[in-house]
Structure 1
């Protein structure tokens, strides 16, 4: 893997990566989707494709902490509805990584994130203005939405570890409150990210060098998770939703402009 070893990083570069790891912990326990900023930092200081392999174990560490914190609030029917479509998205993302270069990956994910944020805002405003659909129509629309977001979430999480904002948009559009949102996304990403490990290793994105760097950075995930757990109780629902959407937009713009 074309990556930078721990010993080749300057103090400033390591500090930036450590801050990104702290932000991963914060995003997993407070504002999901904010870790797209971490993705951009890792891609800035490491080769873009290789950075996804370094970031994946750090994300899994954050997922474990989030599950321990919010495990009682997960909504498993939603998870089971998403997983088949996510599997399709991961498979497509793996094939995409075989031929796509860094520029194509960044542009594709950035466009998807901005599109999802726009669709979510539009749907929420329309739902506030329109009458509620009948039960059969709502059920059919819910299945279509779960499949669409599931495929996009699997694709984006495989190619750039950027599935968080896509799933955030889905959970917000489904009407999840803070704790249900965080508990459901915690289990979702723990399961999905662990399942990605053999794919990433097979593509050469994870090796001994990347794991050594992970070992040095993962300790910074813990204070970030604790900070997020403290902050989430002080954020009301409306502000929480706005922060999630804003983090998605910022992440998408960073990927497009990088």
Structure 2
């Protein structure tokens, strides 16, 4: 299960973004909800460096700065929340969080025109930034939130991927000391990362091949259904 999750991390960084949520659920089942948050983070950072290198010619750091202050605030809020809940509560929170993000995806797909109107509000970047910070600290699952923000910027695909890679490289590195302080990054979790790291690399290489051969929409809908089932399984314990 953990190896499958590691492959999903690689797939998500190659461009198959629908796999990102599935890896959260699989890791939570394999290692426990709280422990999985810290265990996944170093794997994400390795994948982020690879993603940044591959997409370095697209996007810019300037694009992410409006999201940085509220995202930092959101990470701090998520840090205190994660420190106060036990593993059972974390399973429930992460499960419902995943279901909420799946619902968010449906709304996003159905109302991109409405989204463009909302994004003109001055507080939009702050709202998205705080949400992204809290969600990424609690469950490493802020991809859908960042996608909404980047869609509002009307970027071309190359710039979208480049900005997306830069943002998560920054925010995931920023989260490391908070996760270490909570004890969810530790020598044992790092040793586990070394075992799972090849799965991340395999996922990235596999993702490139899948994108060439299989339409992304049917693939992501399959993952949507599997993730929904897995999230409900996580909530029921």
Q: After superposition, give the CA deviation of every residue in 1:233-256 in whole Å (9 maximum; x if it has no partner).
A: 5677xx56x866875675466334
Tell whether the 8 Å contact from 1:79 to 1:188 is kept in structure 2 after alignment: yes
Are 1:42 and 2:27 counterparts? yes
Aligned position for 2:142: 163
Aligned residue for 1:208? Answer: 187
Q: TM-score, normalised by structure 2?
A: 0.83
Could you say which residue in structure 2 is the equivalent of 1:191? 170
State the TM-score, normalizing by the size of structure 1: 0.77
Distance 2:210 2:155 in 1: 18
- Provide the rounded CA distance (Å) in 2 between the counterparts of 1:161 and 1:217: 17
For the residues of structure 1 that align with 2:8 and 2:229, how far apart are their CA atoms? 18
Q: CA RMSD in A?
A: 2.9
Pick from 121, 137, 148 the counterpart of residue 127 of structure 2.
148
Map 1:113-124 to 2 at 5 A: 113-119=98-104, 121-122=106-107
Distance 1:18 1:190 in 2: 22
Name stretches of at least 5 consecutive residues in structure 2 with no aligned partner: none
SS at match of 1:206: coil
CA contact (8 A) 2:43 2:197 kept: yes
> Helix, strand or coil for the counterpart of 1:156?
helix
Q: How does 1:101-116 map to 2 (within 5 A)?
A: 101-116=86-101
In structure 2, what is the Cα distance between the partners aligned to 1:176 and 1:252? 29
Q: How does 1:1-258 map to 2 (within 5 A)?
A: 16-119=1-104, 121-122=106-107, 125-126=110-111, 128=113, 139-140=120-121, 143-172=122-151, 174-232=153-211, 239=216, 251=227, 254-258=230-234
Checking the alignment, whether the CA contact within 8 Å between 1:120 and 1:173 is kept in structure 2 is no
Distance 1:87 1:247, change over 3 A: farther
- Where does structure 1 lack aligned partners over 5 or more consecutive residues? 1-15
**Relative to structure 1, is the Cα distance of residues 61 and 248 closer, same or farther in structure 2, using a 3 angstrom cutoff?**
farther
Query: Structure 1 residue 214: deviation in Å?
Result: 0.7
The count of corresponding residues between Structure 1 and Structure 2 is 233
Partner of 2:57: helix, strand, or coil?
Answer: helix
SS at match of 2:123: helix
